[in-house]
Amino acid sequence: MERGAKKPGTQLMAQETIFIGFGSNLGDRQELCDRAVALMNLLPLSQVTGVSSYYETEPVDPEGRLGESWFYNGVVRLETSLSPTRLLDILQETERGLGRNDTDRHGPRTIDFDILLFGQQQIDQPGLTVPHPRLHQRRFVLEPLVELDPAFRHPTLHRSMRELLEALQDLSRVNKLDIKPGSKYRSRPACSVPPLS
Ligand code: ADP
Ligand code: MG
């Protein structure tokens, strides 16, 4: 191999500031969101730098497929060197691990992850559009984004998160909850595995 050439598979991506939205409207929503946040803390090549409050939010779906149950929603900010497609793979695997029903993807869900923003990158490929195409239309996304990083700029709309929230037409109800996000698993004591006898 030529000097300085990278081994296949070892090419590092530049670090980006990214935002992942999560939501749950099936099962124990707080527990599922706590698990989602705990798992974000375990992502490889990544560091969580902010977690929004949880918000209880009215389901937004003109076709009514999401059911009547309100969601718990929130947003996590990370610094990551993962590629967007690798991150999406991990998030979809995590959705399955947390009981997401793959056969009724548009129905009520134990957990849903959306890659909302990936630095200033614009991605338009099969299965992945970033910025998330409905981010600027959804109160349940913009309120936690503004809580975390009001000045962050949308790469194509060229508006800050605060400006997008101020211009928002969405009248669906979004209530900030007075509970500590992700607290349940963060202070978990380390456990050791007993030696095999
Ligand atoms: P929704 O979140 O819109 O309710 P899903 O979670 O079922 O729907 O996602 C549907 C598809 O959206 C997934 O198969 C995924 O490949 C695709 N997708 C496109 N862009 C994104 C993104 N930015 N974040 C997450 N999924 C995305
Ligand atoms: Mg999704």
Please give the mean pLDDT across all residues of the chain: 89
pLDDT at 13: 79
More confident: 147 or 2? 147
Residue 186: which of 54, 39, 59, 13 has the closest Cα?
Answer: 39
Ligand 2: distance of its center to the CA of 109 in Å? 10
- Distance, in Å, from the CA atom of 9 to the CA atom of 28, rounded to the nearest integer, reads 39
Residue 139 maps to a domain: yes
Ligand 1: distance of its center to the CA of 185 in Å? 26
pLDDT at 187: 46
Mean pLDDT value of segment 33-42: 96
Q: Is residue 100's pLDDT more than 60?
A: yes
**pTM score:** 0.88
pLDDT band of residue 7 (cuts 50, 70, 90) is low
Mean pLDDT value of segment 148-159: 98
109 counts as catalytic: yes
Residue 192 maps to a domain: no
Whether residue 144 contacts residue 73, with contact meaning beta carbons closer than 8 Å, is answered with yes
Give the residue carrying structure tokens 């989602």: 36
CATH at 70: 3.30.70.560
Q: Is residue 58's pLDDT more than 90?
A: yes
Contact 141 CB / ligand 1 (< 6 Å): no
Q: DSSP string covering the chain, please? A: --TTPPPTT-PPPPPEEEEEEEEE-SS-HHHHHHHHHHHHTT-TTEEEEEEPPPEEE----TT-TT-SPPEEEEEEEEEE-S-HHHHHHHHHHHHHHTT--GGGTTS--S-EEEEEEETT--EEETTEEES-TTGGG-HHHHHHHHHH-TTPBPTTT--BHHHHHHT------EEE--S-TTHHHHTPPP--PPPP-
pLDDT band of residue 11 (cuts 50, 70, 90) is low
Ligand nearest to the CA of 132: 1
Q: Is residue 108's pLDDT more than 90?
A: no
User: Residues with Cβ within 5 Å of ion ligand 2?
Assistant: 112, 114
Q: Burial of 187 by CB count in 10 Å (0-12 exposed, 13-18 middle, 19+ buried)? A: exposed
Contact 115 CB / ligand 1 (< 6 Å): yes
Mean pLDDT value of segment 95-107: 83
Residue 190 maps to a domain: no
pLDDT at 192: 52
> How many domains does one find in the chain?
1
Residue 1 maps to a domain: no
Ligand 2: distance of its center to the CA of 188 in Å? 28
Whether residue 21 contacts residue 73, with contact meaning beta carbons closer than 8 Å, is answered with yes
- Distance, in Å, from the CA atom of 135 to the CA atom of 130, rounded to the nearest integer, reads 10
Give the residue carrying structure tokens 């007075």: 178
Q: Is residue 23's pLDDT more than 70?
A: yes
Ligand nearest to the CA of 66: 1
pLDDT at 101: 79
112 counts as catalytic: yes
Range of the domain at 44: 12-176
pLDDT at 140: 97
Mean pLDDT value of segment 84-95: 96
Q: Is residue 181's pLDDT more than 70?
A: yes
Residue 4 maps to a domain: no
Mean pLDDT value of segment 164-183: 92
3 counts as catalytic: no
pLDDT band of residue 63 (cuts 50, 70, 90) is confident
Residue 182 maps to a domain: no
Residue 162 maps to a domain: yes
